[in-house]
Every structure is written in structure tokens, then in C-alpha cells.
Amino acid sequence: MTDSELITLTNGEFGAGFSALDRGVAYGDGLFETARIRSGRVPLWPWHRERLIAGAQRLGMALDEERIEREKAVVLSRLSGTDGVLKLVVTRGVGGRAYQPPKRPLLSYSWQLRPGVSPVWEAGRDGVVLYECRHRLGDNPVLAGMKHLNRLEYVLARREWGDEYPEGLLSSGSGHVIEGTLSNVFVRLNDGWWTPQLDRNGVAGVMRRLVMDILGPKLNLAIQEGRITREALIGARECFVCNSVFGIWPVTGLAPGGETFSVGPQTRQLQRELEQWLTDHQDIQEVP
């Protein structure tokens, strides 16, 4: 997967980019979704669309949902039925006075299509070591859970290591585990599965929701949200990270501390259940 393979469609024009005056460029005033394409389809798209709509409502942006579906079909037609990654960025467009947004914004829509499958995604299925980031996420309940464009905290965290680890672990200022830089975290403790509560910071991922609402219940695995300390994480019976692009990665260790984990049986069950669900729902149109 290289930049030369990237296909873009911005405001209806292939190969175009955002204006330098766009509020998304200037202020991070917008949202985005990144979805995995499998055999020319986007099985989790209804979940992405639902999160995008909810985020836009919170930001006071009126999406053109028909346009989004129409342009998605146009972009996917360039893929020739293979695998890849589809990204949509929606901004408040150009206008307004400094931070004050325009009263009637003309939203910008930009699609990015990258064909291919990264070998890292497949390698991670057998387990990954996470880099434990020094950067701590600040509390911001107003934006918590959203996939908004202001990702500077994640950029700062990602600068802490190179390519030796595929993902990093982020905690809050109070020291509670929140998420990965690209993913959500699940841990199996003595009283069952837990995932961090995201009411103060973090991103509520599409795969996180699928695991909590569908995959876990199908396997009779109750999953709770709560505050997870580092000590609880270290003592976990199983741990994995997940997102809608690479799926589920078992966690086998933390760096630079050197803590290790085993790839647990329930994580393997969830991986198999995910693959089956994606196969069975290639043409899903609405969230189940």
C-alpha cells in the first residue's frame, strides 16, 4: 500500500484536495471515518455511517446522506472488487470569521481509497507488543467518543516510537487505560471482560461496538465498561486491541516495560466469530 495507489475524490472531483481555507485544514473542524473494504464491499459501513451522522449532529453539521452514499458507490467502482481501505473526511467547509463558523456552511466531502492489504494486519492476528506511550490524553467530555479531525494528541503519542511496534497504548492523566492510538482495548479480568469507559476522552470505535453488542453476546461473553488501571491490565488473563481495519489483535506484551501476555482462548474465539460475521454480512445495509 503506497501513496501512488491512493485515489481521492474531493467535492466531486477526482484527484482534488481541500482548499487551504477549509475549516477542516485550519481548525480540525470536521469528522472522519476509516473503513476496511473486503471484496469490494464495506461490511461495517452502516456502523460507520451511523457514527458519522451522530458526530455531525453533535457538531451542528447537516450531512447530505444521499450524496455520501452516491459518492461512496462511485469511489468503490474504482476498486475492481478487491480489498482496501476507504476513508471519508467531512468538514464544515470554507467560511466563517476565525473560529466562528458560517451560519449556512457548505460542507466539504473528501474520499480516499487505498487498494490492498497491509501485511501488518495479518501478522498482528497472532499477537502484538504495544508501546506504552508517555503522552497522556486530556479530559474533554464534550468531544469524548467522537471521530473528529483534531488528532494532535495522537500525533504526539505516535512520535514516541518508530516502526518497531504496530500500535501504542494510551492512558488518561489519572493513569487509567483508555485505548490504542488506532484502536480500542479489551481486557479479560477475573470477573470477566472489560473495556475502558470513554465518557471523558478516547474514540468509541466501530469494531468496539461490534464486539460489545454482537460478537461478545453471541459467545455468551458479558463485556462491561469501566475504569481500568494499569495494574489491572498487567494482571489480565487476556487482552486485545481492535479496530475496523485490522480487526482483532491479541496483545502479547508491553514495551518498554517488558510485561508479557498469553494469547487467550476467548480472544481466538472472538477472532473466528468476527471473520464469520464479516463473511455473512458483506451486503448489510443497516446496523443489525
pLDDT in tens, the chain (288 residues): 544 589 999 999 999 999 999 999 999 999 999 999 999 999 999 999 999 999 999 999 999 999 999 999 999 999 977 899 999 999 999 999 999 999 999 999 999 999 999 999 999 999 999 999 999 999 999 999 999 999 999 999 999 999 999 999 999 999 999 999 999 999 999 999 999 999 999 999 999 999 999 999 999 999 999 999 999 999 999 999 999 999 999 999 999 999 999 999 999 999 999 999 999 887 777 777
- CB atoms inside a 10 Å sphere around CB 286: 8
Cα 112 vs. chain centroid, distance in angstroms? 15
Please report the pLDDT score of residue 4 as a whole number.
52
Report how far residue 253's alpha carbon sits from residue 255's, in angstroms, rounded to the nearest whole number: 7
| Length in residues, the chain | 288
Report how far residue 6's alpha carbon sits from residue 142's, in angstroms, rounded to the nearest whole number: 33
Please report the pLDDT score of residue 149 as a whole number.
98
Q: Closest Cα partner for 13 from 71, 98, 88?
A: 71
Please report the pLDDT score of residue 10 as a whole number.
98
Asked if residue 83 lies in contact with residue 1, where contact means CB atoms within 8 angstroms, the answer is no
Report how far residue 179's alpha carbon sits from residue 144's, in angstroms, rounded to the nearest whole number: 12
pTM above 0.85, yes or no: yes
**What DSSP line would sit under 34-71, residue for residue?**
EEEEBTTB-TTHHHHHHHHHHHHHHHT----HHHHHHH
Helical spans, DSSP H, in 3-151: 23-27, 45-59, 65-76, 119-123
Return all residues near 90 (Cβ < 8 A) that are at least 6 apart.
30, 31, 32, 52, 56, 61, 63, 107, 108, 109, 110
Report how far residue 151's alpha carbon sits from residue 137's, in angstroms, rounded to the nearest whole number: 11
**Domains of the chain from N-terminus onward:** 3-117 (3.30.470.10), 122-280 (3.20.10.10)
